Amino acid sequence: MPGEYISARMLSPIYSRSLAIKTCAVQAKSFWWTASLHVAGRMLLNVHKMAERLQHDGSRHSAGDPLPPKCAVIEVHVAELKQLFNSIDPSPFRNRDLDPKAEEFIVGWAKDMPRDAPLALLVDLDRSAGLPDEAVVLRDAIHEFFHQRAQAFWQRLRDLFRVGRTSLVIGLIALAAAIALGDFLASLMKGSRIGEILRESLTIGGWVSMWRPLEIFLYDWWPVRREARLAEKLAVMPVRIRYMDTAAPESWRVDWPAVSPEGEQEEKQRGTRTLDSAS
C-alpha cells in the first residue's frame, strides 16, 4: 500500500503537466485559427475595396453599353467623335451618316469576325468625357445609320428580284421565239447546211438571252442579302466609349455632340471670313 501511494503521488505531477501542455496547445491552436480568420477577413475586405475602386475607375473612364463576355469587339481609335461622321452632312445627331472611311473600317472588321458571334463596338477616344449622354447619342446615331443601310440593302434585294423576274420572262419569250424560228427556217431549208446553222445560231442566241436572269437568281442575290444581315447585326450591337484622357480637359466642348452641325458650319464660315479678311 505505501508503494502504491508513492507511485500515485509521483505520477500526479506528470498528468498535471501533460494536461497543462494540452491546454496550452489547444489555446495556441485556437489563437492561430482566430488570427488566420482575421487576416483572411482583412484580405477579403481589401480585395472587395480594390474591386469597387477598379469598378468606379472603369465607369469613370468609360461609358455606354456593357460589352457581352463572348462578343467580337470592333475597336476604333479617334481623337474626336466627329471624326466618325461625315463632315458635310447637316442632319441632326441621330441621322448623320458615318464617315466613309469609318464605315469601311467597321464593316470590314465585322466581315472578318465569325458569322455567328455577336458584335460590339469599342471607341477609344483621346479626349476626356464630355456630355453625360454622349455615349447614348453615339449609339443611337450608329444604330440609325446601319438600320438605314440594312433597309437600303433589303430594298436593293427586292429590286434585284423584280429585275430578275422581268428578265426571266423576257428571256423565256426570247428563247421560245428563237427555237421556234430556228425550227421554221430549218424546215424551209431541208437538207441544207445553212438551215441547220441558222437553227443552231438562233438556239444559242435564245439561251444567251437567259444569261441575265440566271446570273441574278444564281449569283447576284446572296451577296446583297449577306450585306443586309450584317447591317442588321451592326444596327443592334452595343457601343461603348473608352476615354483615354490624353487631350485637353475641355476639348469635348468643340467636339460632337456638344457642337451641333449648324455650329460647325458657322465655325467654318467664320474661319473662311477670317481668312478672307486677312488676305
What the block records as the C-alpha cell of 105 is 473600317
pLDDT at 265: 53
pLDDT of residue 60 exceeding 70, the answer is no
pLDDT of residue 177 exceeding 50, the answer is yes
pLDDT at 106: 95
pLDDT at 188: 87
Do residues 97 and 145 lie in contact, with contact meaning Cβ atoms separated by under 8 Å?
A: yes
Please give the mean pLDDT across all residues of the chain. 77
Strand pairing report for 239-243 and 119-125 = parallel
80 vs 220: which has the higher pLDDT: 220
Q: How many CB atoms lie within 10 A of CB 1?
A: 5
pLDDT of residue 270 exceeding 60, the answer is no
- 128 confidence band (pLDDT: 50, 70, 90): confident
pLDDT at 54: 38
Q: Where along the chain do its domains lie?
A: 2-63, 65-278
Q: How many CB atoms lie within 10 A of CB 244?
A: 13
Cα dist. 163→15, 157, 247 in Å? 107, 10, 53
- pLDDT, tens only, 193-237: 888 888 899 999 999 999 999 999 999 999 999 999 999 999 999
Question: Which among 134, 139, 118, 107 has a CA at the least distance from the CA of 239?
Answer: 139
pTM for the model stands at 0.67
98 vs 14: which has the higher pLDDT: 98
- For the ranges 3-17, 33-47, 80-94, the maximum mean pLDDT occurs at 80-94
Distance between CA atoms of residues 259 and 251, nearest Å: 11
Distance between CA atoms of residues 153 and 130, nearest Å: 35
- pLDDT, tens only, 29-38: 555 555 555 5
